[in-house]
């Protein structure tokens, strides 16, 4: 699926389905919150949530006192849903509507968080584009926190083929510029009472 088709797909999803009708809904994204806190970055550090859409992660990070937050998503409908939910607090967040492979940043980030966006990139050139963006827009002491469907997880999401990963295959993608420091296998329980197997990896940028 190319970038144009991908955008149309996600605009349709976020325009027609409620929170409880999408499998990725999490009222409290506990794993992401914990892994971000365990980086011990300052509350002023620059954090980007790639594919954040209308995730509740940004709500919780604001409550925890983080002050320099960016949410990127391909879908304007997803971003608008999140902004509406946050009300006046939305002004405290930077919102970017972009396909991650086309993303042009105006700043350098301390934490790059991605839960369930990267695994939608199935073509080698798109994965390469992602890593180039990641390396270009993170500082020399940055942390990468990435969660994807594991080898025991689904092979599709919202009707789109994904790439399953393991600790080893995630390391293979990022090892040239990032050192893998932690891995977690996580079961996500969807609003439909089904289970999805994720693998989360934390990386530190190589100096």
Residue ranges and CATH numbers for the domains of the chain are 3-205 (3.40.50.150)
pLDDT at 194 (0 to 100): 93
pLDDT at 2 (0 to 100): 65
With cut-offs at 50, 70 and 90, classify the pLDDT of residue 36.
very high
Q: Examine the pLDDT at 130 and tell me if it is beyond 80.
A: yes
Return mean pLDDT, the chain.
94
Calculate mean pLDDT across residues 88-115.
97
Calculate mean pLDDT across residues 165-178.
98
Calculate mean pLDDT across residues 155-166.
91
Query: What is the pTM (predicted TM-score) of this model?
Result: 0.94
* Higher local confidence (pLDDT), 145 or 11: 145
- Measure the CA–CA gap between 69 and 76, rounded to whole angstroms: 17
pLDDT at 136 (0 to 100): 98
Q: What is the 3-state secondary structure (H, E, C) of 51-98?
A: CCCCCCHHHHHHHCCCCCEEEEECCHHHHHHHHHHHHHHHHHEEEEEC
pLDDT at 37 (0 to 100): 98
């Amino acid at each position: 699926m190319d970038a144009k088709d991908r955008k149309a797909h996600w605009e349709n999803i976020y325009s027609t389905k409620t929170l409880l009708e999408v499998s990725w809904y999490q009222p409290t994204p506990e794993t992401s919150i914990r892994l971000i806190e365990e980086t011990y970055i300052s509350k002023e550090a620059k954090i980007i949530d790639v594919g954040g859409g209308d995730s509740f992660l940004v709500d919780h990070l604001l409550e925890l006192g983080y002050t320099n937050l960016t949410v990127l998503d391909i879908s304007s409908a997803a971003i608008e849903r999140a902004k509406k939910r946050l009300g006046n607090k939305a002004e405290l967040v930077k919102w970017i509507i972009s396909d991650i492979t086309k993303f042009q940043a105006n700043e350098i980030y301390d934490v790059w968080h991605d839960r369930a966006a990267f695994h939608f990139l199935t073509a080698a050139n798109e994965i390469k584009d992602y890593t180039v963006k990641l390396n270009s827009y993170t500082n020399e002491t940055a942390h990468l926190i990435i969660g994807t469907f594991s080898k025991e997880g689904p092979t599709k999401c919202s009707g789109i083929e994904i790439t399953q990963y393991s600790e080893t295959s995630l390391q293979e993608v990022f090892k040239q510029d990032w050192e893998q420091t932690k891995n977690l296998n996580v079961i996500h329980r969807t609003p439909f009472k089904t289970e999805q197997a994720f693998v989360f990896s934390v990386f530190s940028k190589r100096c």
